[in-house]
Amino acid sequence: MARVFSGIQPSGELHIGNYLGAVQNWVTLQHQHDCLFCVVDLHAITQPYDVSSLAQRTIEMAIGLLAVGLDPERAIVFVQSHVPEHSELNWLLNTVTPLGELERQTQFKDKAQRHDSIPAGLLNYPVLQAADVLLYRATLVPVGEDQLQHLELMREIARRWNTRFAEGAGFTLPEPQALLATAKRVLGLDGRAKMSKSLGNTIGLFDTPETIWEKLKPAATDPARVTRKDPGNPEICNIFTIHQGFSPPATQQQVAHNCRTAGWGCLDCKRVLADNMIATLTPLRERAQELRAEPGRVREILRAAATKARALARATLARVRQCMGLLEGAEA
Ligand code: TRP
């Protein structure tokens, strides 16, 4: 069985973009592979963040992952900082990571612009990401397109480490492959930027039916459709993309037809979408509520998962240390 690793930042809110673009697929993958899914709090602290809410956002993200159907019996769902080996491997991999490649990462260049003084952690973000995956010798990494550059660098880091240290040791760090999300990317309700909590353009996965409708009503559609009589183009309508995630195929066809012929106004289309979203999301919201009412249970799930992850992580790290010539004795 292939091993799968992916991570998500503890933004505090799982939204429908995360769900359709990533997490829904994770739920499927847990039935096919040996999976680890990680709330990457150590990545989250590379950007300015609210210290007082980090722990709460972390547990809320874990609750979200469990509520959508990740099963602790099948997949290891854990918090990155609970497994300190991520940080240790990060350091070891820093020694084979080319600085030029880090500086070339588009995400680094974008995020660096927001700082007067760029923290080194922001530059090293992709090295920690490589450590996340290589620590478990995972070979499949489900990600969105925006992570492909990080994945390429991760492969380069594995290659360099192998060239320098694995030779003759009978132990290698396998080069992981991206497992690209097939779903079309959902934009934010503004119809412009990607859906993201920090942009305030999301529909939360656990929003109430009232909130879902309140947010859908004013959401951007095909910009060329100005009046009720204008025919629309579902291909360029973000609301149609969301239909593709929540409405059955027959409804999608009906929606597309009524959009192209101006048979429906955008509000009619949104009402159908709201109903389908609410039907899908209500059980998930209820499960999240149950888990929130049992914080002790969630913590216990995370603790047990971290213990499992740590056992795997330590086995890899022992070999990595050995290959790199470090003096034994760290087990003590
Ligand atoms: N950088 C990823 C993102 O922002 C999150 C992440 C951290 C990740 N570590 C990972 C994804 C390891 C895949 C594998 O989406």
CATH code at position 270: 1.10.240.10
CA angle at 141 for the pair 244 and 83, rounded to the nearest 5°: 120
- How far is Cα 190 from Cα 209, in angstroms, rounded to an integer? 20
**CA–CA–CA angle 131, 183, 30 (5° rounding):** 50
Same domain, 125 and 158: yes
- CATH number of 115's domain: 3.40.50.620
- Cα of 180 from ligand 1 centre, angstroms: 13
Query: Is residue 79 included in any domain, yes or no?
Result: yes
Is residue 111 annotated as a catalytic residue, yes or no?
A: yes
Whether residues 54 and 168 fall in one domain: yes
Which atom number of ligand 1 is nearest to the Cα of residue 43? Answer: 7
Helix (H) / strand (E) element for 59: namely helix 51-67
**Residue 194 has what DSSP assignment?**
B
Residue 106 and residue 255 in one domain? no
Q: Residue 73 burial (CB < 10 Å; 0-12/13-18/19+)?
A: exposed
71 and 157 co-located in one domain: yes
Determine whether the shortest distance from the Cβ of 142 to ligand 1 is under 6 A. no
Q: What is the gyration radius of the CA atoms in the chain, in angstroms? A: 22
Q: Does 199 map to a domain?
A: no
| Residues 113 and 22 reside in one and the same domain | yes
Tell me, using a 6 A CB cutoff, whether residue 161 lines ligand 1. no
Do 114 and 252 fall within a single domain? no
Q: What range does the domain containing 254 cover? A: 206-290
Ligand 1 close to Cβ of residue 133 (< 6 A)? yes
Half-sphere exposure in the Cβ direction for 246 (13 Å, CA): 25
- Nearest protein CA to atom 9 of ligand 1, as residue: 129
How far apart are alpha carbons 74 and 20 in whole angstroms? 21
> Nearest 5 degrees, angle CA 141-CA 142-CA 143?
105
The answer, yes or no, to whether any atom of ligand 1 lies below 6 A from the CB of 40, is yes
- In short, whether 141's Cβ falls inside 6 Å of ligand 1 is yes
Please, what are the averages of pLDDT over each run of 10 residues along the chain (332 residues)? 96 93 96 98 96 97 98 98 98 98 97 94 98 98 95 98 88 96 88 91 97 96 90 95 96 96 95 97 98 97 98 97 92 64
What are the residues whose beta carbons fall under 8 Å from the beta carbon of 215, sequence distance 6 or more?
Answer: 189, 203, 207
Question: What is the tens place of the pLDDT at every residue in 24-72?
Answer: 999 999 999 999 999 999 999 999 999 999 999 999 999 999 999 999 9
Given this model, what pLDDT does residue 329 score?
A: 86
If asked whether residues 230 and 110 sit together in one domain, one would say no
Name which of 239, 230, 217 is nearest 262 in CA terms.
230
Nearest CA to ligand 1 atom 3: 8
Give residue 322 CA to ligand 1 midpoint distance, Å.
Answer: 27
Does residue 229 have an active-site annotation? no
The confidence score (pLDDT) of residue 31 equals: 98
The catalytically annotated residue of 111, 184, 215, 308 is 111
Is residue 7 in contact with ligand 1, taking CB distance under 6 Å? yes
Identify the three-state secondary structure at position 242.
helix
- Distance (angstroms) between ligand 1 centre and the Cα of 54 equals 17
Ligand 1 pocket, 165 CB below 6 A? no
Q: Please indicate, yes or no, whether residues 182 and 317 belong to a single structural domain of this protein.
A: yes
Compute the distance from residue 129 Cα to the ligand 1 centre, in Å: 6
Residue 29 Cα to ligand 1 middle (Å): 16
With H, G, I as helix, E, B as strand and everything else as coil, classify residue 2: coil
pLDDT for 332 equals 58
In the chain, the number of structural domains is 2
Handedness of CA 142, 147, 152, 158 (dihedral sign): negative
Residues 6 or more apart whose CB falls under 8 angstroms from that of 168 comprise none
CA distances from 167 to 138, 173, 316 (A): 20, 11, 16
pLDDT of residue 262: 94
| 163 and 21, same domain (yes or no) | yes
